[in-house]
């Protein structure tokens, strides 16, 4: 393997590794985003269930102390829902960034593959030119050895 092809092979290995790492990162942040969304949904569901349960409790009458406890807990629960929504949003931003990184890595890898393809094609063209040059030289020597009567002269 010649030096340019060795360099391109090394570059290909590096770009492939970086693309693979970007794919792994994307999977990780997607998993984290899904976990964050599931947790956010669980908090919203729990808040809704809690409201329904206590609405029926309050319909039967309750003490002021109990209502204050409910309100305090609902405020903390609302804050937890908001915080989890922010966490989910941040996770979605990480997913978008990881997708962009993966796209960039895939483009870079495709560029290296294209360079390798071009280098191989150029080497093939150079090989064909070299082969044609040798054939032309042999033909020229054959022509030079011919005598005026059309017979070949012995090799010098």
Q: Show the CA angle centred on residue 106, arms to residues 100 and 107, nearest 5°.
A: 90
- Among all chains, which residue has been given the structure tokens 């290995």? 13
Q: Which CATH class is domain 3-143?
A: mainly alpha
Mean pLDDT per 10-residue section of the chain, whose length is 156 residues = 82 95 98 97 94 79 82 94 97 98 97 92 91 89 69 56
Hey, what long-range contacts does 10-19 have (CB within 8 A, 24 or more apart)?
Answer: 11/112, 11/115, 12/109, 12/112, 12/113, 12/116, 15/105, 15/108, 15/109, 15/112, 16/109, 18/105, 18/108, 18/109, 19/102, 19/105, 19/106, 19/108, 19/109
- pTM for this predicted structure: 0.71
Per the document, the length of the chain is: 156
pLDDT at residue 26 in the model: 97
């Amino acid at each position: 393997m010649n030096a340019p092809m060795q360099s391109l092979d090394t570059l290909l290995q590096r770009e492939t590794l970086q693309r693979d790492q970007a794919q792994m990162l994307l999977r990780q942040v997607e998993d984290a985003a899904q976990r964050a969304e599931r947790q956010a949904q669980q908090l919203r569901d729990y808040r809704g269930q809690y409201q329904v349960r206590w609405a029926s409790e309050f319909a039967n009458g309750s003490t002021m102390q109990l209502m204050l406890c409910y309100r305090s807990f609902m405020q903390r629960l609302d804050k937890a829902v908001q915080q989890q929504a922010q966490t989910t949003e941040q996770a979605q931003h990480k997913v978008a960034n990881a997708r962009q990184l993966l796209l960039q890595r895939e483009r870079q890898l495709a560029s290296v593959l294209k360079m390798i393809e071009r280098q191989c094609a150029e080497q093939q063209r150079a090989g064909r030119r070299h082969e044609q040059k040798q054939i032309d030289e042999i033909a020229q020597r054959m022509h030079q050895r011919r005598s005026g009567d059309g017979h070949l002269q012995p090799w010098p």
